[in-house]
Amino acid sequence: MQSKRFEVEVLKRLKNGSSRRSDEEEEILDGVVRDVISDLNLTTAIERMKIFMDPEEPYFIIVAILRPPAPPIKLKEVADIYWKGEKIVLSVHEETYMPSILGFLWKNYGRERVEQPERLSAIINTPESEIDKISNFIVHDPSKVLFGNLIDAFERITPEGFRIVKRHFSRSQESRANETFARMKIEDFHTKILGEKEMYFVASEDPIKKDWVKHADRLLTEIGGE
């Protein structure tokens, strides 16, 4: 049974030219959607989602209201950082972040200036003034992972052969008002795009029609978009 959070609508053309919803096709697609959302750990990331398919036109729509992703994790949140013996010393609490941390250090200071005496520690031969830069390095940005998983999910759910795609992301009025200059300076596309609240995804075998995009806008409004 479909829930209000995840809805599926599939049309079936009748011989007289009219159409009606296909319960059988909706049940199959609903199962696919739930499996994909679960596999990619997106259940808590999506507030509401609706999927529409007209196999005869043919076109396929996904609209969704997204929940805000978790904030980025900075190095200073997962490590002790201090100045000792004319060098910066890191004592990392979680091994998960070590590849990201070492990559950042090697890129910015060179391998020859980075020591790793123990599995969860690093010593950087660099001035003390670099502590702030190192402390604020983002070791993990959930929004990047979320964006990748969303696109992956939509591509898995979309029927095979529907390769022409139009994507749209829009922000709520609140997020527009609260956007800061610092946020606008972020250069990474994935990070910025996940500040968005609403989205739609239209796919077809044929060039995307304006009527299909308007349909996606209507569906987004139906599920609570602005």
Intra-chain end-to-end CA distance of the chain, in Å? 27
- In angstroms, the CA 226 to CA 224 distance is 7
The conformation of residue 55, written as its DSSP 8-state character, comes to: T
pLDDT at residue 192 is higher than 70: no
> Can you state the percent helix, strand and coil of the chain, rounding each to 5?
40, 30, 30
Question: Which tops the pLDDT comparison, 146 or 175?
Answer: 146
Distances (CA, A) of 188 to 105, 184, 208: 20, 10, 28
- In angstroms, the CA 106 to CA 114 distance is 7
pLDDT at residue 74 is higher than 80: yes
Q: Are strands 46-54 and 6-13 parallel, antiparallel or unpaired?
A: parallel
**Residue 98, SS3 per DSSP:** helix
- In angstroms, the CA 167 to CA 208 distance is 11
Domain boundaries, the chain: 6-69+142-222, 73-140
Segment among 11-20, 90-99, 157-166, 181-190 with least mean pLDDT = 181-190
pLDDT at residue 180 is higher than 80: no
To the question of pTM greater than 0.75 for the whole model, the response is no
Q: What is the pLDDT of residue 171?
A: 57
The mean pLDDT value of the chain amounts to: 83
Distances (CA, A) of 193 to 115, 147, 164, 198: 36, 8, 21, 10
